[in-house]
Amino acid sequence: MNATEAILEMTAPNKRDLTEELAGRVSRAAVIRRDEPLAKHTTLRVGGPADVYVEPAAEADLVTVVRLCGERGVPCFIIGRGSNLLVRDGGFRGVIICLSHQNFSRIEVVGERLRCGAGARLKNVAVEAKRSGLSGVEFLEGIPGSVGGALRMNAGANGGETKDVLIEAVGIDRDGKRHVFSNAEMKFVYRASGVDPSIIFTSARFRGTIAAPDAIRARMMEVQNHRETAQPIREKTGGSTFKNPPGHSAWKLVDAAGCRGLRLGGAQVSEMHCNFLINTGDATANDIETLGETVRQRVRDNCGIELQWEIKRIGIAA
């Protein structure tokens, strides 16, 4: 069975069978649901349901889920906190795996190193480093995502990137085999990693540097103030929508194309920072994606530059 056939064949009985089989194989602490609305698992608060939704309670659960999906030819996709993610209105045909269990969110400090689960919030990593007198990861305070997403996207803000502080990352492949990647083996580039997309990251180790508490606190306040004054953090948004083209700022290109404040249905280009698309309250995923494509067309017409989506889009249209 190929992926297309698997998608087409995920009918209600198959969803029930898959859910029941998963429940019989993973630990009792794992969460498994059918037809789970994904809007509540993304910061944009839009999107249709997942056929099957799983929160593994441990790495062994994750391996079991991934292997079973492989055996059944069922697509699966990993989410964290749901930032930088747009789920289309028709939902996801397959299994969504969310690493939100506390076992994937632990942060441990040993000397000048931080070991973090893939589900740990980046803000919490920065806060824990501050408590331990470690500098270098303050920029993570300004990124509304999790460690797993940061590894996949080389997340960055305020002059720092994941590649600057990563020692190594751990992940599993779709056969459940464990892999350890050095910083160099992550093949980081701007807003991306070169590691096989099928690898599911489970943890990472970051380096810090001992510094004066006042200096760390001041840097984190600087990052926080920048977010509060320059980004629409109190709105429903997925974060930066488009990657910065080489030598350009995406928001400046969007602004120059006359798109600041542009609306389509319940979606709007932010007035505060026009590289952010906002769900004003009743937007659909189609509203947001269509608005994004409209912005891309206007920028292309205005200056000839092709903006690339930074937000990951998954699922099918309604």
First and final CA of the chain: distance in angstroms? 24
| Beta-carbon contacts of residue 297 (< 8 Å; ≥ 6 apart) | none
Whether residue 28 lies in the annotated active site: no
Nearest Cα residue to 241 out of 254, 256, 228: 254
Given the residues 36, 240, 296, 298, the one annotated as active site: 240
Determine which one of 36, 59, 138, 310 is catalytic.
310
Cα gap 133→66, rounded to integer Å: 38
Catalytic residue among 191, 205, 296, 298: 191
132 is catalytic: no
Q: In what order do the strands lie in the sheet with 49-55?
A: 31-37, 49-55, 92-98, 76-79
Nearest to 195 by CA among 205, 185, 203, 204: 185
> Strand 92-98 to strand 76-79: parallel, antiparallel, or no bridges (unpaired)?
parallel
Assess whether 161 carries a catalytic annotation.
Answer: no
Q: Pick the closest to residue 88 from 239, 235, 290, 282 (CA basis).
A: 290
| 188 phi and psi angles, rounded to 5 deg | -70, 140
Integer Cα distance of 221 and 69 in angstroms = 44
- Max Cα distance, the chain (Å): 59
Q: What are 268-275's contacts with CB under 8 Å, separation 24+?
A: 269/295, 270/232, 270/235, 270/237, 272/230, 272/231, 272/232, 273/230, 273/231, 273/232, 275/240, 275/241, 275/242, 275/249, 275/250, 275/251
For residues 86 and 291, the answer to whether their CB atoms sit within 8 Å is no
Catalytic residues: 191, 240, 310
